[in-house]
Structure 1
Amino acid sequence: MPFPQPDEMHPVQLVGGGRHKGTVFLKAVLNHPRIAVGDYTYMSAHDDLCDPDQIAARLAPYLFAFSPERLVIGKFCQIADGVRIITASANHRRDGLSTFPFAIFDGGAADGRPSMPAPGPDTIIGNDVWLGAGATVMPGARIGDGVIVAAGAVVTGSAAPYTVIGGNPAQVIRRRLPATAAARMQALAWWDWPIDHILEHEALICGTDLDALEAAAPRRA
């Protein structure tokens, strides 16, 4: 069976035929103007994922078409059931005496209203990131390439590439790779290789021999 294309909605074929409706390649389904997602990044759930609008709302419930911030997710990310990405449009002002958002209740323009916060930062998730079940990513988080986010973690701030993080707020549990090896992996950027070359070298990508993986990189023209 050929490897699915990144624009295939339900890429997991079941034994006996049919597709697993609880797994989607996000690039195939999302047309949200404030979300950018890379090839082969998938989201899984214990129920069917079929409606693009519902998938976007489930993943990033406070990111609207008119939101000033963006959500950017890299390639080959793995997003487990129950993950929520809380983007900056969920924020209230928290620098004054009250956090109450009066402006959203009277039907007028919210821009410039004293009860509304200023536009917040983008949320950026790198390549080959695994977001464990029930993890929450908070506004403006920056998650580096190769990070593993433990189930139930609450991610704020930045997570260095190739670390394992967990807890609330999430802290580094351990490094997956030494900093020098992590830098080599980012320079290698296997996620940008042609998919046939990736599949040919699956064992190296999922193995531990970084020298051999570097040697297997496709030659640049």
Structure 2
Amino acid sequence: MKQHQFSHWSETKYLKDIVTNPMIEVGEYSYYSGYYDNLDFEDGCVRYLWGDEQSRKLFNPSEDYGWHLDKLSIGNYVCIASGVIILMGGNHNHHPEWITVYPFVDQIANSYESKGDTIIASDAWIGMNAMIMPGVKIGEGAIVAAGSVVVKDVPAYTIVGGNPAKVIKQRFTDQEIEKLKEMRWFDWKREKIEQATSIFSSSSIDQLYDFYLKEIKK
């Protein structure tokens, strides 16, 4: 029986420490909380993505078929909850416009269709049991509500929910979001972030912006 990666629901794992697939790019301090799944991040949360050790031994779709493979890109300080599913490129061989969606083996080489890279930008939070469909971009600071199915891009600092996921509200005003986009706090040096944790744990974007002007932009 496969050993459980997590010992308790409170345990999280930094993706930098557990990701080995070269098709997954991961930023700093992003984590996965997967206790309730009993599944690895690369073998449960992320699905149908060529590049793990076993799939590399089986075939190389780029060399064998000439496919342009989609990648998964995850920014800094991203929170991914238990039960999240990120669907990737292995399921692009079903064509609803064809007579059958069945992927006949002799047509596999011609049936693949790239959906584009899936991007989860920095500071996003993906809630429990949400599903991210291929080729979607989750904007920085966005929140995907638990159980949502995300089929299209999510704007920065926006909360979405439902199936299919729809905008619930913006987290901040347009002016505040522009300041956050300018500051890109998740790209600061860790020591500067630690200096401002009390501000991050508040709603005062103006105060954070003052810190940014004095300590970062100077």
**TM category, shorter:** 0.7 to 0.9
Q: CA deviation at 1:21?
A: 8.5
Number of aligned positions between the proteins? 196
Task: Work out whether residues 12 and 34 of structure 2, in 8 Å CA contact, stay in contact via their aligned partners in 1.
Answer: yes
Q: Which has the higher helix share?
A: 2
Aligned to 1:14: none
In the alignment, what sits opposite 2:83? 82
Q: Could you say which residue in structure 1 is the equivalent of 2:101?
A: 99
1:13 corresponds to which residue?
none
1:110 to 108, 129, 147: 108
1:128-139 pair list within 5 angstroms? 128-139=123-134
Tell me by how many angstroms 1:110 deviates: 3.3
SS in 2 for 1:110: helix
CA positional deviation for 1:166: 0.3
Are positions 1:31 and 2:20 aligned together?
Answer: yes
Q: CA deviation digits over 1:153-181, x for unaligned, max 9? A: 00111111111100000001111012232
Q: 1:216 to 1:77 in 2, by over 3 A?
A: same
Q: For residues 85-105 of structure 1, give each alpha carbon's deviation from its aligned partner in whole angstroms, at most 9, with x where no partner exists.
A: 0113222222212111112xx
Q: Can you give the 5+ residue segments of structure 1 that lack an aligned partner in the other structure?
A: 1-9, 11-17
Equivalent residue of 2:167, what SS?
strand
Alignment of 1:193 onto 2:160: no
SS at match of 2:114: coil
Would the aligned equivalents of 2:9 and 2:33 in 1 still touch at CA under 8 Å? no
TM-score when scaled to structure 1? 0.80
Letter in structure 2 aligned against 1:93: H
CA shift, 1:122, in A, is 0.8
CA distance in 1, matches of 2:143, 2:122: 11
Conserved in 2, the CA contact under 8 Å of 1:21 and 1:47? no
Are residue 59 (structure 1) and residue 45 (structure 2) matched?
A: yes
Residue 73 of structure 1 aligns with an amino acid whose one-letter code is I
Percent identity reads 31
Task: State the alpha-carbon separation in 2 of the partners of residues 135 and 20 from structure 1.
Answer: 17
Tell me the distance in 2 between the aligned counterparts of 1:219 and 1:69: 35
Counterparts in 2 of 1:1-221, with a 5 A limit?
Answer: 22-46=11-35, 54-65=40-51, 66=60, 68-91=69-92, 92-103=94-105, 110-112=108-110, 116-217=111-212, 218-220=215-217
For the residue of structure 1 that corresponds to 2:186, the secondary structure is helix
SS in 2 for 1:165: strand
Q: CA 1:21/1:109 → structure 2, altered by over 3 Å: closer, same or farther?
A: farther
Distance in 2 of aligned mates of 1:187 and 1:89: 36
Please list the CA deviations of residues 180-200 of structure 1 after superposition, one character each: whole Å capped at 9, or x if unmatched.
321210110000111121111
Distance (whole Å) between structure 2 residues aligned to residue 180 and residue 140 of structure 1: 29
Give the TM-score, by structure 2 length.
Answer: 0.81
**Equivalent position SS for 2:109:** coil
Residue number in structure 2 paired with 1:4: none
Secondary structure, in 3 states, of the residue corresponding to 2:44? helix
Q: Which has the higher contact order (CA 8 A, sep 6+)?
A: 2
SS at match of 1:164: strand
Structure 2: unaligned runs, 5 residues or longer = 52-59, 62-68
Equivalent position amino acid for 1:35 in 2: I
CA RMSD of aligned residues (A): 2.5
CA–CA distance in structure 2, aligned partners of residues 57 and 135 of structure 1: 16
